[in-house]
Amino acid sequence: MSIYRSLGLEPIINATGTVTRLGGAPMPEKVLDAFRDAASEWVPLEQLQAAACRKIAEATGTEAGLVTAGAAAALTLGTAAILAGHDLGRIEKLPHCDGFPSEIIIAREQRCGYDHAILAAGARFVEVGFNEIVSNAGVRRTELWEYEAAIGPNTAGIAYRHAADSQPDLAALVELAHSRGLPVIVDAAGELPPRGNLKAIPATGADLVAFSGGKAIRGPQSTGILCGSRELISSAALQMLDMDDHLELWDPPTELIDRSRLNGIPRHGLGRGFKVAKEEVAALLVALDLFASGAYDEELPRLRSYLDSIVEALSDAHCECAIKEPASPDRWALLEIAVDEASVGHDAFEVCRRLRAGSPPVYVGHGKLAEGVLVVNPLCLDEAQTKQLASRLKEELS
């Protein structure tokens, strides 16, 4: 019996993709095997994270890396590292930053709900630029000089949210930041694939980059990756790992934590609540190998065939289907279904509501409902679910 049914729940058809709300990406067999294997033995977590550090560094072309409890946790830990470094007093004080720089500069147009992750470390934002294009009051994006003008004695660093069309250019912003001795932390949580971004984003020189482990990498949903400068990763690790040891015995791997930089052993840090289990670290590393090696490309034809079969099933329905080709060859296509709201008798929101309320419950992408469009992301579907999905869509759209 389904574990969820035994809890009184009805499993859904997830046509939305890797979203956190619905449980994230499907983990491949090899990832699940790693999770199970890791549960049968024990290793000190700092040694495991040091091994992860090596593997992440290799996969991302950075000096060091850490497995975190999601990209949001990576942003909190990365910010904590920027604020406190290896200063034990500051590590102890966070999230209170009295007496040391704690301002993070961020473009208004890049602000979003994940900003809590940065603020939770104790940072305060200094906003620059405007969102003039969205407010229909201008034509320009945030510009480099605006960041430069905002730098002051309390500036601790710069935060940047990466998107394919982000402005200003990240490499140019990093150059400016470094010329003023400031680090840049990048939210690249959902920027994979293209898998080239694993290396291309850190190659801009950004000091810290956060990726989700539970999206396209297809590790456990609760994992993420923080990668970048050894110095900052070391501080992030210190503030996340359990610190309940004696200084005389404490022997963390130097590649992850450089003990000689510290004049004592810190207490549990700000990130202690973001702990990652050994099983999750092991599973994420296997998923990262699969993702980085291109192993997931094999599945693209199967995912495409799901979309084709839905288009065929809806040929007579009150809708227009359009397959949206992916922006990079290692990404999968999406299906957009424009609802003929007049013929169906209600709007796309209502169609979406009815799909969720039906049996089995069906969740389609809801980012374009205001335009009357349902989006199907095939990543979390199998063949049987695709048939059920097509038949539920046909019922609601006929």
Task: Report the alpha-carbon distance of residue 316 to residue 134 in Å, rounded.
Answer: 37
Question: Which span (5-13, 69-77, 201-209, 250-258) binds ligand PLP, by CB under 6 A?
Answer: 69-77
Residue with tokens 């006929």: 398
Three-state DSSP at 319 gives strand
- The reply to whether 326 sits near ligand PLP by the rule CB under 6 A is no
Three-state DSSP at 338 gives strand
Count of residues binding ligand PLP (CB under 6 A)? 11
* Shortest spacing between CB 114 and ligand PLP, in angstroms: 4
Residue 197 has which token pair?
Answer: 């971004």
The β-bridge relationship of strands 362-364 and 373-376 is: unpaired
R_g over Cα of the chain: 23
Compute the C-alpha angle 285/286/288, nearest 5°. Answer: 65
How many Cβ atoms are within 10 Å of 251's Cβ, its own excluded?
A: 12
Closest to ligand PLP by CB, 331 or 394: 331
Three-state DSSP at 216 gives coil
Residue list 179-238, contact with ligand PLP (CB under 6 A): 187, 189-190, 212, 214, 224
Q: Which of 122, 72, 66 is nearest to 99 (CA)?
A: 122
Closest to ligand PLP by CB, 14 or 386: 14
CA dihedral 112, 79, 214, 258 (to 10 degrees): 170
Closest to ligand PLP by CB, 114 or 250: 114
Task: Report the alpha-carbon distance of residue 393 to residue 231 in Å, rounded.
Answer: 52
Question: Which span (66-74, 252-260, 286-294, 372-380) binds ligand PLP, by CB under 6 A?
Answer: 66-74
Residue list 71-90, contact with ligand PLP (CB under 6 A): 71-72
Point out the residue whose Cβ comes nearest to ligand PLP: 70
- The reply to whether 116 sits near ligand PLP by the rule CB under 6 A is no
Q: Please name the residues in contact with 16: beta carbons below 8 A apart, sequence gap of 6 or more.
A: 22, 363, 364, 365, 366, 375, 377, 380
Closest to ligand PLP by CB, 193 or 214: 214
Compute the C-alpha angle 292/297/301, nearest 5°. Answer: 170
* Shortest spacing between CB 354 and ligand PLP, in angstroms: 27
Strand partners, 227: 65, 209
- The reply to whether 17 sits near ligand PLP by the rule CB under 6 A is no
* Shortest spacing between CB 214 and ligand PLP, in angstroms: 6
* Shortest spacing between CB 73 and ligand PLP, in angstroms: 6
Question: Which span (64-72, 299-307, 359-367, 373-381) binds ligand PLP, by CB under 6 A?
Answer: 64-72
- The reply to whether 20 sits near ligand PLP by the rule CB under 6 A is yes
Q: DSSP letter at 26? A: P
- The reply to whether 114 sits near ligand PLP by the rule CB under 6 A is yes
Closest to ligand PLP by CB, 52 or 317: 52
Of 70, 168, 202, 372, which lies in the binding site for ligand PLP, with binding defined by CB under 6 A? 70
- The reply to whether 67 sits near ligand PLP by the rule CB under 6 A is no
How many Cβ atoms are within 10 Å of 371's Cβ, its own excluded?
A: 10
Residue with tokens 């990756």: 225
Mask: binding to ligand PLP, 137-176, rule CB under 6 A, as x and -?
Answer: ----------------------------------------
Query: Which positions touch ligand PLP (CB under 6 A)?
Result: 20, 70-72, 114, 187, 189-190, 212, 214, 224
